[in-house]
Amino acid sequence: MLLTEYRRGAGPLLTLTVAALVWLRLFGLVLRFPGSWLDSATEVLTAPIAPLVFTAAVWQASRERRRDMDDQLGSSARAAWRRRGLTWASIVLGGALGVALVVGVAVVLLVARGAYAAPGWWWPLIITVLGIGADAALGVLVGVVFPWPLLGIVLGVAAYVVLSEGRGPFRWWPPFDGYWTPDAGPHSLIALTLGIGVLALITLASRHRMALLAVPSALVCQMFLDDTTSFWRVDPRAGELVCRESVCTSRASVHTLDTVFAIAKPLLDKVAGIPGAPTTAAPSNTGASLWVTGMHTGWDGKQLFEPESPRYKRLLVQTVVTARCAAHDELSAAASAWWTGVVSSPQEQAALARVERLSPEAQRTWFGDYLSALRRCDAAALAALR
């Protein structure tokens, strides 16, 4: 019966549309790798599918009113809550299948690349499915109450934007600084609230007496989900270093280690043996090592948007060669260009040409002298290197 309702209603179209939106949110058009397990689950949560599920539910739940079948179905032996529940379940099935299709692809990629799985990474996926249920239940209620489905859809989507302050599911996004993992307590409360909310909305749509209990319960749970509730806790393990030889990434970014190693190791080898030159690459911007930052990679593990990685090479060496105590941009540009082989302007090309006129050994000496003068903030020594 559920599959029949799914096939004859908005289910198939909803599945395809939800799958397309989640795919674009997770992989984009460039087939990017989604990151860690938690990053992937959070991206799925923030896919803008709520208005779509709501719209499909309103349209499907309003069929009885559109076809003047209210009285006829109301006199049948089949309870109203069964009809509303079947409509709701078919919409949830359509949305959940769309999410599952894309998540299945992501799981294969995450396992293949050995991505980091933070504790409780699955909570955003649970909230996603329960959110689909809540959106569908609200749509069923609106479809039953409003005689004009289009008006109900417009008002419902407008209310969604207003109540979420334009952020939608981004309300549940983790803080941007540091490493975080879902806190099981608050996320359990979100799940409970959504579950009771579904029951409350369906019983209201069915005019069932259970609504007298479900609606107050949902409101009580919602009271605890204010802006002061902390949904996330620090994940110290995600910040641990994972290294290959002298190149390291954080555990949360371990899926990029192969790509970072291929870029950073030749840079370290080029300055090996030069006094003061870094011997490691790590996610630290102190200048003591190459600065490993986040990067976007594709399904194949290669860096997106810049196959030769010129920008990333410059980011790696930036904290090592940039002058902190005085303005010596020309020297910094020359050192960066000599080290990375990346030249971005005629001025850098001219500065690099002056260094390359020296012998290979003299070039290495010049670079070591530059790093030494940079650490001492010796303006006279830096000026002599021009």
Is residue 176 over pLDDT 80?
A: no
Please check the confidence at residue 276 and state whether its pLDDT lies above 60: yes
pLDDT at 41: 92
- pLDDT digit string, tens, across residues 302-313: 777 665 668 888
Mean local confidence (pLDDT), 101-116: 93
Residue 150: predicted pLDDT: 77
Interval 317-328 mean pLDDT: 75
Does 217 have pLDDT greater than 80?
Answer: no
Please report the pLDDT score of residue 265 as a whole number. Answer: 93
Q: What is the pLDDT of residue 201?
A: 81
Residue 6 φ then ψ, to 5°: -65, -45
**Sheet strand arrangement including 281-282:** 241-244, 247-250, 281-282, 290-291
In this predicted structure, what is the pLDDT of residue 72?
Answer: 46
pLDDT at position 211 is 55
Q: Which amino acid is at 33?
A: F
Asked whether the predicted pLDDT for residue 249 surpasses 90, the reply is yes
Q: According to the model, what pLDDT value does residue 80 have?
A: 67
337, 313 contact by CB (below 8 A): no
Rounded to the nearest 5 percent, the helix, strand and coil shares of the chain are: 65, 5, 30
Beta strands of 187-289 (E only): which ranges? 232-234, 241-244, 247-250, 281-282
Cβ 63 vs Cβ 84: under 8 Å:
no
What would the mean pLDDT of 366-386 be, rounded to a whole number?
A: 80
The model's pLDDT over 12-31, given as tens digits with 9 standing for 90+, comes to: 899 999 999 999 999 988 88
What is the pLDDT averaged over residues 176-190?
83
pLDDT at 231 over 90: no
Q: What confidence score (pLDDT) does residue 77 get? A: 45
Tell me the domain boundaries of the chain.
Answer: 2-237, 240-384
For the cut 80, the answer to whether the pLDDT of residue 382 exceeds it is no
The string of pLDDT tens digits covering residues 43-53 is 998 888 888 88
The better pLDDT of the pair 252, 8 is held by 252
Mean pLDDT of the chain: 81
Report pLDDT digits (tens) over 281-296. 999 888 788 999 888 8
- Residue 75: the pLDDT is 47
**Rounded to an integer, what distance in angstroms lies between the CA atom of residue 313 and that of residue 329?**
17
Contacts of 81 (CB under 8 A, 6+ apart): 202, 203, 206, 208
Express as a percent the part of the chain with pLDDT over 90: 23
**Choice between 362 and 4, residue whose per-residue pLDDT is larger:** 362
How far is residue 316's CA from residue 278's CA, in Å, rounded to a whole number?
11
Between CA 288 and CA 273 the distance in angstroms is 15
Stretch among 25-29, 306-310, 355-359, 373-377 having the lowest mean pLDDT: 306-310
How far is 299 from 308, CA to CA, in rounded Å? 17
pLDDT at 357: 86
pLDDT at 332 over 90: no
Tell me what pLDDT residue 359 has. Answer: 87
| Neighbour-count burial of 223, counting CB atoms closer than 10 A to its CB (0-12 exposed, 13-18 middle, 19+ buried) | exposed
pLDDT in tens, 129-171: 998 998 898 888 888 877 677 777 787 677 666 655 555 555 5
- Distance between CA 88 and CA 81 in Å, rounded? 10
pLDDT beyond 70 at 208: no
pLDDT tens-digit series, residues 38-84: 999 989 988 888 888 888 888 888 776 555 555 444 545 456 667 78
Enumerate residues 6+ apart whose C-beta is below 8 A from 188. none
Evaluated on CA atoms 52, 54, 56, 59, the torsion sign reads negative
Res 221 pLDDT > 70: no
The model's pTM is 0.82
The residue among 348 and 111 whose pLDDT is bigger is: 111
Per-residue pLDDT at 266 = 92
From residue 35, give the alpha-carbon distance in Å to each of 40, 183, 257, 297. 6, 20, 12, 9
Q: Do residues 195 and 134 touch, judged by C-beta distance below 8 A? A: no
